[in-house]
């Protein structure tokens, strides 16, 4: 695995997070990775943070690597695909992390040369706590899937799914960190309103969310069961839960995932039909 040569088209935060995770896990060495970006600020930060190399063009990244991550925004993908068409061969495994961009659009843009994988990571990859999903595209083999699974597992959890579910992954775990940040901020605001210092309130809120999430993952119990274990009859927690229900928090969070999922699908449709 450490002999894999990994490239990034786009050297932003997600590319940096993935590269850091690959090095930290021993799955790749810094000198075996290279990135390109239209922004010199991004490539400078990528090089400083990861110790990996940078290239002045996408073509150079492709020429020097076997696994290529397309780490650009969905709106930039059409131009990147046009630039890379004909430069990728059957030796290349191409993994796109652009939200909403379907495998059909990648295939249409790149042609039938490279093997394709669609990936949806999220920003907690930066601290090794990512929640990612991926699906295999044309030409991708079982070994390719195992490789991508190992690479993504180096920065958190990874799940292989059907492509029809990838927009839902984008809406849930891709956009979800932002929803959780709003929850942490709101919990902190409540603590401040009740007299806690801001730094203490934020630390307590963030640690509470982290601890609760860890209990769900480590015990395998349904969140509702864990919730009921905290809510004593006539106690403080059930009073707070009643306030959440009155405020429509459950419906709002569900609606947020639905809205983000639909937006991912819209972005994908725009990629497939750029003239529309």
Largest CA distance in the chain: 68
- Residue 269: name the closest of 101, 71, 80 by CA: 101
User: Stretch 132-141: mean pLDDT, rounded?
Assistant: 93
Q: How far apart are CA 237 and CA 235, in angstroms?
A: 6
Percent of the chain past pLDDT 90, that is, above it, reads 82
Burial of 133 (0-12, 13-18, 19+ CB in 10 A): buried
Per-residue pLDDT at 54 exceeds 70:
yes
> What is the model's pLDDT at position 274?
54
- Residue 88: name the closest of 139, 39, 135 by CA: 139
CATH class of the domain comprising 176-264: mainly alpha
pLDDT band at 150 (very low <50, low <70, confident <90, very high): very high
pLDDT band at 172 (very low <50, low <70, confident <90, very high): very high
Digit-coded pLDDT (tens) for 178-189: 999 999 999 999
Strand extents, DSSP E, the chain: 6-9, 33-36, 53-54, 67-70, 93-96, 115-120, 130-136, 156-160
pLDDT band at 272 (very low <50, low <70, confident <90, very high): low
Tell me the three state secondary structure of residue 274. Answer: coil
Whole-prediction pTM: 0.90
> What is the model's pLDDT at position 2?
46
Digit-coded pLDDT (tens) for 89-127: 989 999 999 988 999 999 999 987 899 999 999 989 888
- The first and second tokens of residue 117, run together, are 């994988």
Topology of the domain covering 6-166: Rossmann fold (3.40.50)
> What is the model's pLDDT at position 205?
98
User: Stretch 61-78: mean pLDDT, rounded?
Assistant: 93
CATH 1.10.3730.10 occupies which residues in the chain?
A: 176-264
pLDDT band at 270 (very low <50, low <70, confident <90, very high): confident
| Helix 74-84 × helix 249-272 angle, to 10° | 30
Q: What is the Cα 266 distance to its own chain's centre? A: 18
What distances in angstroms separate CA 112 from CA 90, 106, 164, 269, one per listed residue? 8, 10, 21, 21
User: Stretch 31-41: mean pLDDT, rounded?
Assistant: 95
Report the 3 state secondary structure along 105-166: HHHHHHCCCCEEEEEECCHHHHHCCEEEEEEECCCCCHHHHHHHHHHHHCCEEEEECCHHHH
> What is the model's pLDDT at position 1?
43
> What is the model's pLDDT at position 64?
93
Per-residue pLDDT at 87 exceeds 80:
yes
Q: How far apart are CA 203 and CA 145, in angstroms?
A: 38
CATH 3.40.50.720 occupies which residues in the chain?
A: 6-166
**Long-range contacts for 197-204 (Cβ within 8 Å, ≥24 apart)?**
none
Q: How far apart are CA 154 and CA 144, in angstroms?
A: 16
């Amino acid at each position: 695995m450490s002999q894999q040569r990994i490239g990034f088209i786009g050297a932003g935060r997600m590319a940096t997070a993935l590269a850091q995770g690959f090095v930290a896990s021993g799955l790749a060495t810094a000198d075996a990775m290279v990135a390109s970006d239209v922004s010199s600020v991004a490539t400078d930060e990528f090089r400083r943070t990861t110790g990996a190399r940078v290239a002045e063009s996408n073509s150079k990244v492709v020429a020097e690597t076997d696994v290529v991550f397309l780490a650009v925004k969905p709106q930039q993908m059409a131009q990147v695909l046009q630039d890379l068409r004909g430069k990728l061969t059957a030796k290349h495994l191409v993994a796109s992390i652009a939200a909403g961009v379907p495998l059909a659009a990648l295939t249409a843009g790149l042609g039938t040369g490279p093997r394709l994988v669609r990936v949806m990571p999220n920003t907690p990859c930066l601290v090794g706590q990512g929640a990612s999903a991926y699906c295999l595209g044309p030409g991708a083999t079982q070994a390719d899937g195992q490789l991508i699974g190992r690479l993504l597992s180096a920065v958190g959890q990874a799940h292989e799914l059907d492509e029809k579910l990838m927009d839902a992954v984008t809406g849930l775990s891709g956009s979800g960190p932002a929803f959780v940040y709003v929850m942490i901020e709101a919990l902190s605001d409540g603590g401040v309103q009740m007299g806690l210092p801001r730094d203490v309130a934020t630390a307590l809120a963030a640690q509470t969310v982290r601890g609760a999430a860890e209990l769900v993952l480590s015990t395998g119990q349904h969140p509702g069961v864990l919730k009921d274990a905290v809510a004593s009859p006539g106690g403080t927690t059930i009073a707070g839960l009643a306030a959440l229900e009155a405020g429509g928090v459950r419906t709002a969070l569900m609606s947020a995932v639905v809205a983000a999922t639909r937006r991912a699908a819209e972005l994908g449709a725009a990629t497939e039909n750029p003239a529309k």
